[in-house]
Amino acid sequence: MVDINDTTYFEDIKQRHIVLSDIWYINDDTDESFPAKLELFGHSRKITYSEGKYTTTIRGSTVRGPQYDGELTYRIIKSDRTTITLDLGNDTYVRLSWSNFKLLKTYYDEKNVVYIQAEGAFKDEILSMLPKLFNDSELVQMVSNFIEDVPTVFYIDPTFIISTECLIANQAGCMNKGNSLFLSDELQRSTVLKLEQIKEEISPREVNLREIYHFKNEEIIKPYLDNSYFLLVKLLKDRLSLIEDVQAIYLTYIFLYKIVIRHFSQKWARDYNEYFGNIDGLSLSEAVQQYCLIETIDPNNLQTAGTFIYYLIDHGKFGGDNYLLCFVLFGQQLNPLLEKQKTESFARKIQKSSVNRAYTINDIDLMSGQEFEQFLALLFSKMGYETEVTKGSGDQGIDVIASKGGIKIGIQAKCYSGSVGNGAIQEAVAGRNYYHLDKAIVVTNAGFTNSAKELAEANSVVLWDRSILKDKITELW
């Protein structure tokens, strides 16, 4: 509510009013919604509801300090296809249509031009510091080592990225000042946000409502921020002799992201660059098509796709470097190709006679180890590879070698009834080195332990479990 003696408010009320009539006022205590009218004038807002019986008047928020007095702010609480719910400040919640939200946002941007300019200047200031950081080779290596020690989900999974940015903004102490440096926009950040109201008893007759915002995967992300990221922030702050914490927080984030692009691009190039030849000569569409033709990967795997997206970003295939935007654009290219592959595979399956359907996954379960090796040689030959089964006990960890287009793949066969462990991964790595192979794959009719998956990821060993093997059998027989 505004003080009736607030002279600034009475100056506002003299200005031209913008009226949004198709909105709903939400009672904070009961969650009831009332048809309402929202008036915007100057840097103030007035909400009238219940046929004019009640009004709520708000002036610009001061949550970011006195220097932002009068700034018009809102927070997105939730949205759906037709409406969006906003917290306008001072415990005032409204729900409005998307068209009305666009009008409100346009109005806010016009009135907040001074603050928007200040945020732009802050962004320029942060970006101007980056060259100095990249010229510090020791610091670049330290940040690269930092990335190696952090689970890749923080850089690959969009939900983790968005939640991390929300929590960083909260820690910085201002939800807007550095947000233009983030990968996410305000709508994306609202998708991971959950508002809880906690009732706290003040006295036997009084209860206070306290709002707490939670974010998806917060219980995983907060330890990462507290025990890793903010230690990196302190390191950079001390190294650059920065005065403001907020500078160090956002500078660290954007610097880290730039190195993340380079780090994952180089990782993909080490593992799969030979499939792309001159990547700079390929369009985005052509590069994604080639990605779908790599038999040793699951194109739907989030980690595989994410690493490839960074490779494409690094080679300028999207015309920008925002991972969240590129993730969407990549999906738009990938999904039709996978649907086409699925349809073609189904067509091949129903066109084949029952005589040709020689194998099922159940047949594999009954095979001996040697029979399974022979089967995998046949499977890869059907995929267009020249195959060679190695010599029994002297195979050095590789049972089948498959060659195509100058690329040599080592395959270790594990026909098990239980999960495959670390030993198989270690043997595959040793065999890859012994035979000077480009890739190593461990194929099983069962599954892999979590430890084996982690070791395989660290050593770039491809894993085919029962589901992948079953899909290949269905596709080829």
Q: How far apart are the first and last CA of the chain?
A: 72
Q: What is the overall mean pLDDT for the chain?
A: 86
Q: pLDDT tens across 404-451, in order? A: 888 899 999 999 888 999 999 999 999 999 999 989 999 999 999 999
Cα 71 to the center of its chain, rounded Å:
31
Whether 252 shows a pLDDT value over 50: the answer reads yes
Tell me what pLDDT residue 67 has.
45
Whether residue 128 sits in one domain with residue 86: no
Q: What is the DSSP-derived secondary structure letter of residue 420?
A: B
Q: Look at residue 78 and tell me if it is in a domain.
A: yes
Tell me what pLDDT residue 133 has.
93
Tell me what pLDDT residue 254 has.
96
Whether residue 347 sits in one domain with residue 360: no
Tell me what pLDDT residue 61 has.
52
| Residue ranges making up the domain that contains 314 | 276-351
d(CA 400, CA 409): 8
Whether residue 142 sits in one domain with residue 85: no
Greatest Cα pair distance, the chain, in angstroms, is 92
d(CA 363, CA 353): 18
- Helix (H) and strand (E) counts for the chain? 18, 14
d(CA 330, CA 261): 16
Q: Look at residue 1 and tell me if it is in a domain.
A: no
Q: pLDDT tens across 63-113, in order? A: 444 444 568 888 888 888 999 999 888 778 999 999 999 999 999 999 889
Q: Look at residue 48 and tell me if it is in a domain.
A: yes
- Total number of domains constituting the chain: 4
d(CA 89, CA 74): 7
**Residue 57's pLDDT band (cuts 50, 70, 90):** confident
Tell me what pLDDT residue 309 has.
98
Q: What percent of the chain has pLDDT over 70?
A: 88
- The DSSP result for 214-276, as a single string, is EETTHHHHHHHIIIIIHHHHHHHHHHHT-S-HHHHHHHHHHHHHHHHHHHHHHHHHHHHGGGT
Whether 202 shows a pLDDT value over 80: the answer reads no
Q: Look at residue 443 and tell me if it is in a domain.
A: yes
Tell me what pLDDT residue 206 has.
60
d(CA 348, CA 342): 10
Q: pLDDT tens across 179-201, in order? A: 899 999 989 988 887 766 555 56
Tell me what pLDDT residue 362 has.
86
Q: pLDDT tens across 262-271, in order? A: 999 999 998 8
Tell me what pLDDT residue 145 has.
95
Whether residue 46 sits in one domain with residue 16: yes
Whether 283 shows a pLDDT value over 60: the answer reads yes
Q: Look at residue 54 and tell me if it is in a domain.
A: yes
Q: Contact, 401 vs 390, CB < 8 A?
A: yes
CA atoms within 13 A on the CB side of 124: 6
Q: pLDDT tens across 303-341, in order? A: 999 999 999 999 999 999 999 999 999 999 999 999 988
Q: Contact, 284 vs 317, CB < 8 A?
A: yes
Q: What is the pTM of this model?
A: 0.79
d(CA 47, CA 17): 12
Domain stops at, among 318, 351, 384: 351
Exposure b/e, 85-97, CB count within 10 A at least 16 = b: bbbbbeebbbbbe
Whether 207 shows a pLDDT value over 70: the answer reads no
> Pick from 437, 436, 438, 414: which is nearest to 425 by CA?
414
Q: Look at residue 376 and tell me if it is in a domain.
A: yes
CA atoms within 13 A on the CB side of 130: 15
Q: Look at residue 269 and tell me if it is in a domain.
A: no
